[in-house]
Amino acid sequence: MTRNATRRWYLVHKWTSIVCTAFLLMFCITGLPLIFHHEIDELTRAPQLAQTAAGRTIDLDQVTRDTLAKQPPGWKMLFLSWDDEKPLIYSVVAPSLNATQDQAKILLYDARDGRTVDAPPVNEGVMAFLLELHSQLLLGIPGQLFLGLIGVVFLVAVVSGVVVYAPFMRKLAFGTVRKDRSRRLKWLDTHNMVGIVTLGWVSVVGLTGFIITMTTPITAIWQMDELAELAAPYKDAAVPTRLASVNGAVATAKAAVPEGRVSFVAWPGTQFSTKHHYMVAFAGNTPLTERLIKPAMVDAESGRLSDVREMPWYVQALFLSVPLHFGDYGGMPLKIIWALLDIAAIVVLVTGLYLWLGRRRVPIEKRINELTSGGVMEPAE
């Protein structure tokens, strides 16, 4: 690589790293407890389920009526969602169909018999606060999109760091920390060594994090594509004022997708459905397909099945990114590995910050000479 190319990559790495370091520290520090959010919630906020069910079949229409009866007049049902590990149904209701996430309320029901389950609100508490800070900076969708931009800057910093430092690091045995040199050089070697060790992980987490921040645009594209196609035959039809039975819609969808497990039901007019359909979402039964969704669209007025189709690849990428981002695929062993790599990433960030804050006034031309000649590289300014 030429001197001019090295100089350009060096400056790109320097400034992209400076821009995103504070945000990356926030990601890593808040992300560490979020890796174990399920276990922490189980210890501190777990709902108390009855040991035995009442022995009756759950009536989803009754769950819907009960949820709405506990709200002010005019509130709308949005979703029913089934817990992956417990016999729980989350009933989500809001003042309007386009209400924000903060305005929604979530009630819990026993999935075995439909009885109300007492539990702290699932969208409140320390873990909920950390998740909102981690994913949106407490700023909602604008914060989420801004963090998506930071994710792009971070990926550029990773690529430029590899381009700049990898040729130099090949001149040293892997894991070398030159303890006989200056303190700053030891910090630099530590920074580079841990950075290379965690390179694959931070790339995966950074990419999946970026995909998650694109939830709103991805959903909008799906709405303009798949949902618009489903809604086209109804363009001249009035929006239904009386909805078909939710029980019936789920039964109809199950008959069409017998191998699936009901994951959630979206009401007409919500972001996952049209104004004329229930969307009954099915998850698979394997470790991979249980993260994917197959939607069955049921006419909300007649109760007839309209369509069953696979989600497009970009929506599937979003669904797969969430558990991969938090290490939620392989149980506790993978979570522990994710946590150790998260701590290692914090070491990279802290050492990089130390090197920049305590930088020596070495002209950039001298540092480029050291990089291109293979000499002793001092920490970058």
72 and 197, same domain (yes or no): no
Q: Is the pLDDT of residue 27 over 60?
A: yes
162 and 201, same domain (yes or no): yes
Is residue 69 in some structural domain?
yes
201 and 167, same domain (yes or no): yes
For residue range 204-258, what is the model confidence (pLDDT) as tens digits? 999 999 999 999 999 999 999 989 998 888 888 888 889 999 999 999 999 999 9
Stated pTM of the model: 0.82
52 and 119, same domain (yes or no): yes
23 and 50, same domain (yes or no): no
Write the burial class of residue 317 (CB in 10 Å: 0-12 exposed, 13-18 middle, 19+ buried).
Answer: middle
143 and 206, same domain (yes or no): yes
CA–CA distance, 43 with 278 (Å, rounded to integer): 35
24 and 91, same domain (yes or no): no
Express as a percent the part of the chain with pLDDT over 70: 85
Residue carrying the six token digits 């035959």: 233
64 and 103, same domain (yes or no): yes
Full residue range of the structural domain in which residue 159 is found: 3-39+131-212+329-373
Instruction: Kindly indicate the confidence band of residue 367, based on its pLDDT and cuts at 50, 70 and 90.
Output: low
Is residue 10 in some structural domain?
yes
Of 244 and 48, which is predicted with more confidence?
A: 244
Sequence-distant (≥ 6) Cβ neighbours of residue 65 within 8 angstroms: none
Mean pLDDT of the chain: 84
Contact 29, 346 (CB under 8 A): yes
Is residue 138 in some structural domain?
yes
Q: Smallest Cα–Cα separation from 272: which of 210, 315, 234?
A: 315
Final residue in a domain of this structure, among 124, 144, 170: 124
Is residue 313 in some structural domain?
no
Is residue 274 in some structural domain?
no
Write the burial class of residue 341 (CB in 10 Å: 0-12 exposed, 13-18 middle, 19+ buried).
Answer: buried
For residue range 87-97, what is the model confidence (pLDDT) as tens digits? 899 999 999 99
Express as a percent the part of the chain with pLDDT over 90: 43
Is residue 315 in some structural domain?
no
What was the pLDDT predicted at 338? 93
CA–CA distance, 367 with 326 (Å, rounded to integer): 38
What was the pLDDT predicted at 52? 65
Of 120 and 31, which is predicted with more confidence?
A: 31
Of 180 and 214, which is predicted with more confidence?
A: 214
What was the pLDDT predicted at 179? 64
Of 333 and 286, which is predicted with more confidence?
A: 333
Q: State which of 42-56, 83-97, 317-331 shows the largest mean pLDDT.
A: 83-97
Instruction: Kindly indicate the confidence band of residue 281, based on its pLDDT and cuts at 50, 70 and 90.
Output: very high
Of 126-130, 131-135, 355-359, 368-372, the range with the lowest mean pLDDT is 368-372
Of 290 and 219, which is predicted with more confidence?
A: 219
For residue range 92-115, what is the model confidence (pLDDT) as tens digits? 999 999 888 888 999 999 998 888
What was the pLDDT predicted at 180? 63
37-44 helix and 3-35 helix, angle to the nearest 10 degrees: 20
Of 358 and 324, which is predicted with more confidence?
A: 324
Of 256 and 166, which is predicted with more confidence?
A: 256
Of 165 and 268, which is predicted with more confidence?
A: 268
Amino acid at 379: P
What was the pLDDT predicted at 355? 73
What was the pLDDT predicted at 364? 58
58 and 170, same domain (yes or no): no
135 and 204, same domain (yes or no): yes
Is residue 260 in some structural domain?
no
Final residue in a domain of this structure, among 93, 124, 155: 124
User: For 298-306, what is the mean pLDDT?
Assistant: 94
* Total number of domains in the chain: 2
Final residue in a domain of this structure, among 104, 124, 144: 124
192 and 136, same domain (yes or no): yes
Is residue 177 in some structural domain?
yes
139 and 208, same domain (yes or no): yes
Q: Is the pLDDT of residue 360 over 60?
A: no
3-class DSSP state for residue 50?
A: coil
Instruction: Kindly indicate the confidence band of residue 60, based on its pLDDT and cuts at 50, 70 and 90.
Output: very high
